[in-house]
Amino acid sequence: MGTSVPMVEYLELGESPRLVANECTSCGARYFDRRNACANCGGLEFVKAPVATEGEVRAFTIVNWAAPGIPAPYVAAVVDCDGTSVKANVVNTPPDAEHVHLGMKVRLATFPIGTDTVGTEAIGFGFEPVEGE
């Protein structure tokens, strides 16, 4: 069996997967990509900051047409994770307005997205409904 690797640098795998943002030490703004300077205050120093694994859907759209090879429909969303906005898909629920709504409670979910020829498995992430939601 091969190893597992995250599909993005800011996804940490392990027993309790989580997202980790780059947080400006001057103003607290968070970014998932690498930064030379903070877009909010111009600060130059960042620290790694864990992002809450549960959140609330703040905006979403149901995507019915996608690039070839991308299964549709799916739900693209912005999730508020205790003040950090995360763009991700809502997974493990039917992609329709009966099952996804604004204010919906969700939690981080990881899943395999493919395996290469030497057995290395890529792991993606999304957010799934919290039970009872």
Q: What is the DSSP string of the chain?
A: ---EEESSTTEE-SSS-EEEEEEETTT--EESS--SS-TTT----EEEEEPPSEEEEEEEEEE---STTS-SSEEEEEEEETTEEEEEEE-SS-SSTTT--TT-EEEEEEEEEEE-TT-PEEEEEEEEEPTT-
The predicted model gives 120-129 an average pLDDT of 97
- What does the pLDDT read at residue 81? 98
What is the domain range of residue 106?
4-129
Q: What is the pLDDT of residue 1?
A: 55
Q: What is the pTM of this model?
A: 0.91
Q: Please give the tally of structural domains in the chain.
A: 1
pLDDT top residue among 1 and 122: 122
Q: Considering the chain, what percentage of its residues have pLDDT values greater than 70?
A: 98
Judge whether residue 131 has pLDDT over 90: no
State residue 132's pLDDT score: 66
